[in-house]
Structure 1
Amino acid sequence: MSFEPNKTACASTPDQEYLPQPRNSNHISKAPLKDKLLTNSSYLAAEIPLKLGHFMSNLWTSGSELSSSFFLHNHETETQQHIIWLLGNAYYNKPLDGIQQAILEAQKDEMFRPVQQENQVHTDTTSMSMLWPSDFYDDFVSRLWMTYRHNYPPIRPSNHKTDIGWGCMLRSGQSLLANTLLIHFLSRDWRRQKQEQTVYKQYSKILHWFLDELSPRAPFSIHRIALLGKQLGKNIGEWFGPSTISQVIQALVSDFAPANLSVYIATDGVIYRDDVQDVATGKKPRGDFSHLITRVSSDEGGRQEAKNLYEASNNDDAATPDRRDSEFKPVLILVALRLGIDSLHPTYYPALKACFEIPSFVGIAGGRPNSSLYFIGLQGDDLIYLDPHFSRPALETKGLSEYTKEDFGTYHCTLPRKINIANLDPSMLLGFYCRTAQDFDLLCDQLDLISQKHSAIVSVQQSAPEYDEDVRSENDFGVLSDEDEELSVDDDDHSIF
């Protein structure tokens, strides 16, 4: 299934060198249509996303015996390989030669090289960028990339000065939120290489919010994420799952009014329109998980200390205002899913791939078994990701104006990596950003369309069902509720770290 590509991203057509001209075109103008197709195959393969409608029209009127279904079947896979999706934007790729393809294949399913080889990684950047369309590459290197850091102030009440080995889902969640905020404040068309000075100030402020320190100026730091996780029963240094990181993101954003963003968490893969409306208009308060905290019997004192530390790091001026009006506030919709048992079930491949074509899509925090990645792009059956398993020193604490572009450059990745969709872990967190009520309506229509054509992974309903009190009394009979079960089985992440 395919949505209409984002017009901004597709405004510039590929250069002439990206579109090989038909061979001997002056000598076949009167040739049969089938011969024309064979002769112009390279040209059509490169330009088919733009020319398909025009070509199909000519195909029907020509009276040729070659059917449209035959054409689409033989070119579908090749066409998908020539389209690269990046957070809802479509880019068109020229066919690669054998050497270029071998280089890209070598990037599949690999983690980043060891830290000691970091310089070599960056020396390969120029040659690697030539393998991708320039407009795609400019977009890719503009996305924010949160990775492991070390030598930051300890996360009290623990002594952790690094999140190596346990923080990859926390960093993937940071990446999803950070790129949502980039779109929220700077628009989807923002590019790091072309930003003006006034825009740079906002960009640097967003990065400042994610610094590795426990202070009001860093509301989305690894410290505050870990402290909220502690309140949810996750010890500092313990792995997070999609459900936990979604609740943490909701609490972080709700406690920071300057973000001017609301967060809605879907229940069991279902988005309820009325609930989103309540969250976006301020009728539903900040996500409260106190009912989950009371069910955890151990380390009561540690959770209270984490709560006190977290609240002390809040900026009183950033308290969420009591807003109960009809204005639709931009909303980040988070959907935690498990699409399979031990691996991602193939029946969900098409629907998951279709999400990358939705303009409001802001990525997936999840990954391969036992490690979380942040997925932002798609090419054929390969997902393009940002990998948090790459440790850097934490930035020194100093004034906002004192950070250099080189400092902030450590929050951007220059080497796109790919992994086949078959290698994904089934547990993941999807994100969608809707700036307006119209954007939300469009998202619902697109998700409905995906559900009609493929095995549904996210469904949309008008309102949540209402239950009688006796339906909610299963604990009286010793039945484990969903919330109790989630807290008793090390979350729903199956040890993603």
Structure 2
Amino acid sequence: MSDWGVDRGVRVLKGVRHFRHRIRRKMDIMFDAYLNSEGDFPMCDSPVWIFGRSYSVNYDLDELRRSVASCMWVTYRKNFGSVGETSLTSDKGWGCMIRTGQMFMAKALILRHLGIDWHWEPDSRDPSYLKIVSLFADLNSAPFSLHQIAQTGSTLGKPVGTWLGPNTVCQAFKKLLSSGATGLDLTMHIAMDSTLVQSEVKRLCLSHPSINPFASATIPSSSIINTPRIDPKWRPLLLIVPLRLGLSDLNEAYVPGIKAVFEIPQSIGIIGGRPNHALYFIGYAENEVLYLDPHTVQPTVHVGSKLDESEKAADETYHSQKPGRMSFLAMDPSIALCFYCKSEADFDSLCRKLTDRFSVIPLPLFEICERRPQDWTTSDPIFMSSPRSNSSGGRNSPGGFTSIGLPGSSSSNSKTRMGSSSSSTFSGDVDDEEFEILG
């Protein structure tokens, strides 16, 4: 056999071994996720981090479970009124990412109106809490209902009843907030292109008066929650950073960055999931990420004012004490980081903490800059009237994105962060920017 034939055979053998290694790695990750799907917390000496707070499993287990139970657990529902002009009365199989979006929005509203030290109790009848729950009722009239989000998604090019990716769900929430229909004193910024520009955020949050600008006779008083601001000149901020940390698998080099995010007090979790399974990530323990899973089908309920046992039982369907857990490496690489900043000082603190943490890890999750360079172009798709009008693939439409050209560089920065030494980047279009690997 010639030397060429031997070399070719060696290359083929190496390729087969590499393929077998990748398959074995995927199977190990899937098996690990299955074994750990029973939930609760692993017994470990390392701290468990949830929403920027650390706990000891050995000493704080009850407090841990109480903290998890204080999150709103929003799941699939059935037997609700049809969504828009469709005949859909359940979101099983298509609404899981919407449900994770409702969870991060509920967390932000709880922090805004109830504070960081508030805890849910089965007998709690706090008026602000009950108003927050009502915002997510499975009714066409509820401001953040599945119905409203799904129908808003249809204006962004995603028909009702189809699965929405993390970015589209965030854009739908932003559009609902921007419309003023919710009557909430909260603003939302989506940091596209893996870049957080501080001046743009401050311009957004400092441009609103201290009174609720949306409180008017056209908005039902029951939908408005009036809570004084911590900082009168700063409109409370819900900050979202959509990312893709790999192509088909999460790059392991980004795990330290994800852990760092969970340790920051302004963190309100991550929406994402594992392949074919959207999840709301709330923290981590050692090498496992903790999550709330929307994939439980429950009947549609009415919480109301919790005046009777049926309404009390209805409220309990929105809470779970035990999170699921799985390996970081089982995460789908398409995620959206979520932060809440109650004041300008809080936002400045977030930027400092992220900058400090990202400076000592191998691969930062995203970039933070004071202001956008003049020749650095991007677009926010939320205000485009015809999101699919670009027949060439719609990089400036929801589902598309604009790569940022760095000053003095011939290459471009994209939202897909590969973590390799290669100069190539991944560019998405209207179909793949959503990275709709989840289900």
Q: What TM-score results when the alignment is normalised by the length of structure 2?
A: 0.71
Query: CA 1:438/1:230 → structure 2, altered by over 3 Å: closer, same or farther?
Result: same
Structure 1 residue 206 and structure 2 residue 132: aligned?
yes
Per the alignment, residue 59 of structure 1 pairs with none
Give the CA deviation at 1:194.
8.7
Give the CA deviation at 1:446.
0.9
Tell me how far apart the structure 2 counterparts of residues 136 and 259 of structure 1 sit (CA, whole Å): 30
Give the CA deviation at 1:192.
1.1
Tell me how far apart the structure 2 counterparts of residues 259 and 183 of structure 1 sit (CA, whole Å): 13
Tell me how far apart the structure 2 counterparts of residues 171 and 483 of structure 1 sit (CA, whole Å): 26
Q: How does 1:117-156 map to 2 (within 5 A)?
A: 133-156=61-84
Structure 2, unaligned stretches of length 5 or more? 1-41, 210-217, 225-230, 380-390, 401-428
| 8 A contact 2:304–2:311 mirrored in 1 | no
Alignment partner of 2:239: what SS? strand
Structure 1 residue 428 and structure 2 residue 335: aligned?
yes
Query: CA 1:278/1:252 → structure 2, altered by over 3 Å: closer, same or farther?
Result: same
Q: How does 1:279-358 map to 2 (within 5 A)?
A: 279-282=204-207, 315=219, 327-358=233-264
Tell me how far apart the structure 2 counterparts of residues 406 and 280 of structure 1 sit (CA, whole Å): 38
Per the alignment, residue 263 of structure 1 pairs with 188
Deviation sequence 1:212-271 (CA, Å, 0-9, x none): 0111xx100000000100000101111111110111111222324532111011011211
Tell me how far apart the structure 1 counterparts of residues 321 and 376 of structure 2 sit (CA, whole Å): 54
Query: CA 1:265/1:457 → structure 2, altered by over 3 Å: closer, same or farther?
Result: same
| 8 A contact 2:51–2:262 mirrored in 1 | yes
Letter in 2 for 1:219: P
| 8 A contact 2:166–2:271 mirrored in 1 | yes
Tell me how far apart the structure 1 counterparts of residues 190 and 430 of structure 2 sit (CA, whole Å): 21
Deviation sequence 1:323-375 (CA, Å, 0-9, x none): xx981111000011100010110110101111110000000110101211001
Query: CA 1:256/1:91 → structure 2, altered by over 3 Å: closer, same or farther?
Result: farther
Per the alignment, residue 442 of structure 1 pairs with 349
| 8 A contact 2:189–2:239 mirrored in 1 | yes
Give the CA deviation at 1:80.
7.5
Per the alignment, residue 456 of structure 1 pairs with 364
Q: How does 1:267-278 map to 2 (within 5 A)?
A: 267-278=192-203
Letter in 2 for 1:333: L
Picking from 152, 160, 163, the partner of 1:239 is: 163
Per the alignment, residue 157 of structure 1 pairs with 85
Alignment partner of 1:259: what SS? coil
Pairwise CA RMSD: 3.0
| 8 A contact 1:266–1:336 mirrored in 2 | yes
Per the alignment, residue 321 of structure 2 pairs with 414
Structure 1, unaligned stretches of length 5 or more? 1-77, 96-131, 285-313, 320-324, 472-477
Alignment partner of 1:152: what SS? coil
Alignment partner of 1:378: what SS? strand
Letter in 2 for 1:462: E
Q: How does 1:16-165 map to 2 (within 5 A)?
A: 81-94=45-58, 133-165=61-93
Alignment partner of 2:121: what SS? helix
Give the CA deviation at 1:494.
2.2
Per the alignment, residue 431 of structure 2 pairs with 489
Query: CA 1:345/1:435 → structure 2, altered by over 3 Å: closer, same or farther?
Result: same
Deviation sequence 1:273-302 (CA, Å, 0-9, x none): 111112212369xxxxxxxxxxxxxxxxxx
Letter in 2 for 1:464: R
Q: How does 1:209-228 map to 2 (within 5 A)?
A: 209-215=135-141, 218-228=142-152
Letter in 2 for 1:461: C
Q: How does 1:382-421 map to 2 (within 5 A)?
A: 382-396=288-302, 404-421=311-328
Query: CA 1:488/1:270 → structure 2, altered by over 3 Å: closer, same or farther?
Result: closer
Give the CA deviation at 1:464.
2.1
| 8 A contact 1:82–1:94 mirrored in 2 | no
Per the alignment, residue 421 of structure 2 pairs with none
Tell me how far apart the structure 1 counterparts of residues 247 and 62 of structure 2 sit (CA, whole Å): 39
Letter in 1 for 2:360: K
Tell me how far apart the structure 2 counterparts of residues 137 and 398 of structure 1 sit (CA, whole Å): 25
| 8 A contact 2:66–2:321 mirrored in 1 | no
Per the alignment, residue 175 of structure 2 pairs with 251
Give the CA deviation at 1:134.
1.2
| 8 A contact 1:91–1:136 mirrored in 2 | yes
Tell me how far apart the structure 2 counterparts of residues 343 and 93 of structure 1 sit (CA, whole Å): 30
Letter in 1 for 2:193: D
Per the alignment, residue 227 of structure 2 pairs with none
| 8 A contact 2:393–2:430 mirrored in 1 | no
| 8 A contact 1:447–1:459 mirrored in 2 | no
Give the CA deviation at 1:450.
2.0
Query: CA 1:140/1:399 → structure 2, altered by over 3 Å: closer, same or farther?
Result: closer
Structure 1 residue 364 and structure 2 residue 270: aligned?
yes
Tell me how far apart the structure 1 counterparts of residues 122 and 295 of structure 2 sit (CA, whole Å): 28
Tell me how far apart the structure 2 counterparts of residues 163 and 447 of structure 1 sit (CA, whole Å): 36
Give the CA deviation at 1:196.
6.2
Give the CA deviation at 1:188.
1.2
Query: CA 1:444/1:468 → structure 2, altered by over 3 Å: closer, same or farther?
Result: closer
Aligned residue pairs total: 340
Tell me how far apart the structure 2 counterparts of residues 466 and 79 of structure 1 sit (CA, whole Å): 51
Letter in 1 for 2:84: R
Query: CA 1:202/1:453 → structure 2, altered by over 3 Å: closer, same or farther?
Result: same
Q: Find runs of 4+ consecutive structure 1 residues off by over 4 angstroms.
A: 78-81, 194-197, 316-319, 396-403, 478-481
Q: What TM-score results when the alignment is normalised by the length of structure 1?
A: 0.63
